[in-house]
Amino acid sequence: MQRLLLLLALAGAVAPAWSQAWPARPLRLVVPYAPGGPVDISARLLAARLQQGLGQPVVPENRPGAGGNIGVDLIAKGPADGYNLVMSAIATLAINPSLYSSLPYDPLKDLRHVTLLVQVPNVLIVRPDLPAKSVPELIALGKSRPGKLDFGSGSTGSTGHLAGEMFKMVTGTYMVHIPYKGSAPALADMMAGRIDLMFDNLASALPSIKSEKVRALAVTTRKRTDFLPGLPTLDESGLKGFDMTTWWGVSVAARTPQPVVDRLSAEILKAMDSPDMRERLRGMGSEPPAIRTPDHFAAFVAAELKTYTGLVRRSGAKVD
């Protein structure tokens, strides 16, 4: 009994020591997508703010590839010391586990989910010269040109990819999927007329929509977005029940000490709640969500994983 009490006392002493000593050196924030997209932009905004709260540099590092799996696996298999973070997203945590036949990490066992940062509506956009000015017109065009339309996405396994697959399934159209390493290059190609359409997140697409470089047809969420109140939903456009939202947050390796996770979560929330950060995020079509604590984020990831496992199976989408 005395030995047990001693061990418990030592454990209690270690936690404050971790909390006080950390961080003692710069942190790395891995972005598993290409530079220029909304996840990358959010990471750089967060890193600058987080550096002020932690008193140490926070260095973003882009590691794109395999639909985000490479960057996430790097952190999942890396040191559980709180110095290695990753921008985790719906694709890497909820979609890819069922889209890929073999995933190098388990999103529930190999990672600790610190804080959900933003939730962003997806929007169906087309190149301006495409002869479709509404969702019904796009469906008719797709059926008249089977296999001739192509849709881009920020990566294989992204919500843009899965939204396209779901659109094909429920409308009976056939379009060719073209994955990119990030939404920014996909959007650039669409504006250049190289691809026909995208299901992009609003944070990425909003500036191009406002400048009329692309045409928006509908949002993929059940409710309209305040940023484009005149734009109908896919549900309103005849695709009943269509509902898909992009989100991303911050995760660390599974064995990262609890005091470090708690400190990270508190500092991230402080950064996200700052007026200038909120304003920047609203400018991207997004806002901090209500899900804030590590426990809430972990439960949210588990629920989304269950939902999207079913969606991927019904859509028949596969990568390998």
Q: Which CATH architecture has domain 13-120+245-315?
A: 3-Layer(aba) Sandwich (3.40)
Residue with tokens 């540099």: 57
Q: Which CATH architecture has domain 122-219?
A: 3-Layer(aba) Sandwich (3.40)
Ordered by start, the domain boundaries in the chain are 13-120+245-315, 122-219
Summarize pLDDT for 111-134 with one digit per residue, the tens.
Answer: 999 999 988 889 999 999 999 999
Best CA proximity match to 76, nearest among 248, 253, 297, 251: 253
Please indicate whether the domains covering 13-120+245-315 and 122-219 agree at the CATH topology level. Answer: yes
The string of DSSP codes covering 49-106 is: HHHHHHSS-EEEEE---GGGHHHHHHHHTS--SSSEEEEEEHIIIIIHHHHSS--SS-
DSSP code of 232? P
Summarize pLDDT for 204-213 with one digit per residue, the tens.
Answer: 899 999 999 9
Residue, of 9 and 272, whose pLDDT is higher: 272
Cβ-based neighbours of 221, under 8 Å, separated by 6 or more: 121, 122, 233, 243, 244, 245
Summarize pLDDT for 38-94 with one digit per residue, the tens.
Answer: 899 999 999 999 999 999 999 999 999 888 999 999 999 999 999 999 999 999 999
pLDDT at residue 8 greater than cutoff 60? no
Token couple for 223: 């409710």
CB atoms within 10 A of CB 237: 18
Token couple for 253: 């390796």
Question: What's residue 14's pLDDT?
Answer: 46
Question: What's residue 20's pLDDT?
Answer: 61
Global pTM reads: 0.80
What does the alpha-carbon distance between residue 285 and residue 294 come to, in Å, rounded to a whole number?
24
